[in-house]
Amino acid sequence: MQPFRFAHLSDPHLPLEPDRPKGLEWLSKRTLSYQSWQRKRRHAHTPAMLAAILADIRTQRVDHWAVTGDIANISLPGEFRRGAEWLRNLGAARDVSYVPGNHDAMVPVPFADGLGLWADYMTGDGQGAVAFPYLRQRGPVAFIGANSGVPTAPLLAQGHLGREQMQRLGDMLADAGRRGLFRVLMVHHPVADGVVSSRKGLTDRRDLRDLLSRTGAELLLHGHAHVANLSMVKGPLGPIPSLTAPSASAIGYRHDMPARWHLVTVDTDGPDWRVQVEVRGVERRDAPVTALGGWSLRLPAMP
């Protein structure tokens, strides 16, 4: 089998300017988040850092891009329009898979003016419209995207999948396993405990972990935490790696972790999967993007 290489990045948080809430838009959760952007986050995320990360990804000649949420900051219509342009600049829709984050779903936005503008990057194989979860087979890999982005009350950043999405996800994971695919589950909020606080957590993560313990998956990809983390989740054949990436535009402002991304190579090792993860990013704001470490994993294939 030809090794399959893909990039995992998350939380690009494109610049909010020149947008700002107008009129009745101030009467929502956007107000507090806009103040947070002005006070801190506009200093913590820069286009220059994001451009450096993207340039490094392009030098690696990856086969696919997996982006786990939060292009937007406060879900203004202008953010979705600029986000659509940003996604097009990454590559063709078949080469880029996206799942929404909590900032993409901060408040309800009409689909045509919001997530619908990114539909081409969230539509599964054979689907005529966006439906979560979706599945896209690329080479030996099944990219399975679930949507945990839901509007929440002020001061909360929780995610939720819900029963219907969970049921479809179970069927999708089981079918992909029977077909011998390397299953990559993308969901913005981390699945393992302890990565983020309960205020920011996936509310039904225990249900998802229970599902994964029965159906399995080969790799979980997340964002949201703005830190790098590798956890393990119980699967039917052994632990499932659960990989969280920090923001791809972060400069390391104050105590934040600076930008990183993951170069994942999937290959076979006899009857099993061999997975190599190279962590690439910066150690500080003025440093070049380089390899920061990594690991190799041997994962059992579904019988």
Residue 25 pLDDT exceeds 90: no
Report the C-alpha gap between 132 and 227 in whole angstroms: 26
Position with higher pLDDT, 29 vs 93: 93
Determine the pLDDT at residue 37.
Answer: 86
Residue 24 has pLDDT above 80, yes or no: no
* pLDDT for the residue numbered 126: 93
* Contact by Cβ (8 Å): 102, 188: yes
Q: Which of 285-302 are b and which e, b meaning 16 or more Cβ less than 10 Å from the residue's Cβ?
A: eeeebeeeeeeebebebb
Q: 239: how many CB neighbours lie within 10 A of its CB? A: 12
Neighbours of 250 (CB within 10 A): 27
| Domain regions of the chain by residue span | 4-15+28-300
195: left (phi over 0), alpha (psi -120 to 50) or beta: alpha
In terms of Cα–Cα distance, which of 233, 274, 276, 257 is closest to 6? Answer: 276
Closest by CA position to 161, among listed 202, 220, 109: 202
pLDDT tens-digit series, residues 198-212? 999 999 999 999 999
Q: Are strands 272-281 and 260-269 parallel, antiparallel or unpaired?
A: antiparallel
* Over residues 119-144, mean pLDDT: 97
DSSP element (H, E) containing 274: strand 272-281
Whether the Cβ atoms of residue 45 and residue 70 lie closer than 8 Å to each other: no
| Average pLDDT of span 224-233 | 96
Residue 39 per-residue DSSP state:
I
Place of tokens 């494109």: 14
> Mean of the pLDDT values across residues 111-116?
97
CA–CA distance, 38 with 34 (Å, rounded to integer): 6
How far is the C-alpha of 190 from the C-alpha of 188, rounded, in Å?
Answer: 7
- The CA distance from 90 to 42, in Å, is 22
- What gap in Å lies between CA 177 and CA 155, rounded to an integer? 39
Residue with tokens 């999708």: 172
pLDDT for residue 303 = 79
The count of other CB atoms within 10 Å of the CB of residue 230 is 15
Structure token pair of residue 124: 């599964």
Stretch 32-54: mean pLDDT, rounded? 92
> Any idea what the Cα angle at residue 277 is, between residues 142 and 60, rounded to 5°?
85
Burial status of residue 189 (CB atoms within 10 A of its CB: 0-12, 13-18, 19 or more): buried
Query: How is domain 4-15+28-300 classified at the CATH fold level?
Result: Purple Acid Phosphatase; chain A, domain 2 (3.60.21)
> Peptide bond preceding 151: is omega within 30 degrees of 0, i.e. cis?
no
What pLDDT score was predicted for residue 33?
Answer: 86
- The dihedral over CA atoms of 107, 111, 244, 228, expressed in degrees to the nearest 10, equals -60
282 with 49: CB under 8 angstroms? yes
What's the sign of the alpha-carbon dihedral 123, 62, 148, 29? negative
User: Are 74 and 16 contacting, i.e. CB atoms less than 8 angstroms apart?
Assistant: yes
pTM higher than 0.85:
yes
Residue 115's identity, in one-letter code, is: L
